Amino acid sequence: MNYKKYKPYPTVDLKNRKWPSRTITKAPIWCSVDLRDGNQALEIPMNLDQKIKFFNFLVEMGFKEIEVGFPAASETEFAFLRKLIEEDLIPDDVTVQVLTQAREHIIRRTFEALEGVKKAVVHLYNSTSVLQRRVVFKKTKKEIIDLAVEGAKIVKEFADKMPKGTIIYEYSPESFTGTELDYAIEICEAVLDVWKPTKEHKAIINLPATVEMSTPNVYADEIEYFIDNIKNRESIIISVHPHNDRGTAVAAAELALLAGADRVEGTLFGNGERTGNVDIITLGMNMFSQGVDPELDFSDANAIINIYKESTRMDVSPRHPYVGELVYTAFSGSHQDAIKKGMEIYKKEKPKYWQVPYLPIDPMDVGKSYDPIIRINSQSGKGGVSYILENEFGFRLPKKMQQDFSIIITNESDKKQEELTPKMIYDIFIKEYMNITEPFALVSYKIDSNEEAIVVRAVIKKDNVEEEIEGTGNGPLDAFCNAIKKYMSIDSIDFRIVSYDEHSLDQGSSSRAVSYIHLQDEKGNSFFGSGINTNISTSSLRALISAFNKMISN
């Protein structure tokens, strides 16, 4: 790879930069450019009906500024804006934005499309970069300024014919990141001299990273330098329009806001030319996760995904921040264990702030459920498996049993080379531990007591042959255990109960009890069994015979 054919992007000699010590405390002015910048990047652009539906959805999300297209570019773009205006589909608190080049016939057509609009941003642009001036336009700096100024005059001429306050001016020195900073300021001031904005009627200066060419900190330096040196700052809204060529558009936008930008143009999921625009969902949810109101509604992630997929014919990555299908899902065993414990503590303590390991926000805040948080494959551990059993089916396995079952699940997933669903995990659990009746089955039992001990008389069955056994002990389990040892002959087999646990699976007087037994043979090997019954004694004896069956079948 011939890396020497590229040169580093120049830094900004910015003294005493202020943006590194700032924090984002409020949302910017949002402008969705999905219907223009996003749409022009699609293999199959949206049709009129799709545009109307997408526009309505953006309004519902809370966007107050929406770039609806380039009306002079095509009949579809023109017809879309006319439909919005003529059918009164633009709410009074929403401002539509249109894009136009600095060319008279294009500006004229744009204002024809705007006839009757209540309020609109007219976004004028021309390319100002060193490369485009030399290669594309073959014009000097002055000639490029003259082009921008002439465009600004024509826009103002048409705007003056409309009711006062209808038109908001916006200018973009396109390819700002490839333009000399002082020259970008010079051309913007030349345009502003034509429009003469005031504090009451501000103009928008949009500084696009049309191509992302530097690290985000350099973009922030450029924004801060521009703001510090542009005249009449109080009469200007500084807007940014980051693209994602380096994959850092979100960071660039965040740092630009720290540097003093007031407004962000972007798209849902970052759709746009090449690698896309800044992703407003990620950017807004980053603010949300820090306790800042994003002033957009992201509460129904699936609805946002659906309108996006329907309109763009593109998918959303399952790893997309905040809303992807897998972003709240843990397969790693250690992650699953931490999430399980974190959720338990959060539910118990109910703290003021969200605090659960590996979950930066509560999935419920974007309309996701807790169901897929932990999913099981060969990388999973005991924490994840036990979380599934408890949250899906109510089984609270003892710690040692969690470890034993997780090995079984890992081996099963590894063998199948696939994720195991909760139903599959449940079925494996039942098969491995629950009410095992081979080779021995508990047919019936009776518990008696005397002054010294508990006596258990039980009927067990093997190979369809029933036999009575009897044992005494300090409790039903101990007595049953001794009855089995006596029946099997202590010389041939020995074992002991290491632990016993139980809990209710249901609520109410008819609730079922589940019991867990941990047995250990004379060599120290562990075996586990479980039993379920409405009678706690029955469930515990079934758990014991299940563990015993596993031991002698080993």
Angle of helix 422-433 relative to helix 536-553, nearest 10 degrees, comes to: 80
Give residue 126's region: left, alpha or beta (phi > 0; psi -120 to 50).
beta
Q: What is the pLDDT of residue 459?
A: 95
Give CA separation, 201 vs 198, 248, 461, in Å.
Answer: 5, 33, 92
Could you give the CA distance from residue 406 to residue 385 in angstroms, rounded to a whole number?
Answer: 6
**Residue type present at position 58:** L
Q: What is the pLDDT of residue 300?
A: 95
User: What class has domain 18-312?
Assistant: alpha beta
Q: Are 432 and 412 in contact (CB under 8 A)?
A: no
Q: What is the pLDDT of residue 365?
A: 95
Give the residue range(s) of CATH 3.30.160.270 domains in the chain: 441-553
- Per-residue pLDDT of the chain (554 residues), as tens digits, is 899 999 999 999 999 999 999 999 999 999 999 999 999 999 999 999 999 999 999 999 999 999 999 999 999 999 999 999 999 999 999 999 999 999 999 999 999 999 999 999 999 999 999 999 999 999 999 999 999 999 999 999 999 999 999 999 999 999 999 999 999 999 999 999 999 999 999 999 999 999 999 999 999 999 999 999 999 999 999 999 999 999 999 999 999 999 999 999 999 999 999 999 999 999 999 999 999 999 999 999 999 999 999 999 999 999 999 999 888 877 676 787 788 889 889 999 999 999 999 999 999 999 987 665 655 554 555 567 787 888 889 999 998 999 899 889 888 888 888 878 889 989 999 999 998 999 999 999 999 988 789 999 999 999 999 999 999 999 999 999 999 988 887 556 788 999 999 999 876 666 899 999 999 998 999 999 999 999 999 999 999 999 999 998 88
Q: What is the pLDDT of residue 378?
A: 46
Q: What is the pLDDT of residue 374?
A: 56
Give the residue range(s) of CATH 3.20.20.70 domains in the chain: 18-312
Q: What is the pLDDT of residue 420?
A: 80
Could you give the CA distance from residue 273 to residue 212 in angstroms, rounded to a whole number?
Answer: 12
Could you give the CA distance from residue 231 to residue 236 in angstroms, rounded to a whole number?
Answer: 9
Q: Which helix (H) or strand (E) holds 20?
A: none
CATH number of 441-553: 3.30.160.270
Model confidence, pTM: 0.77
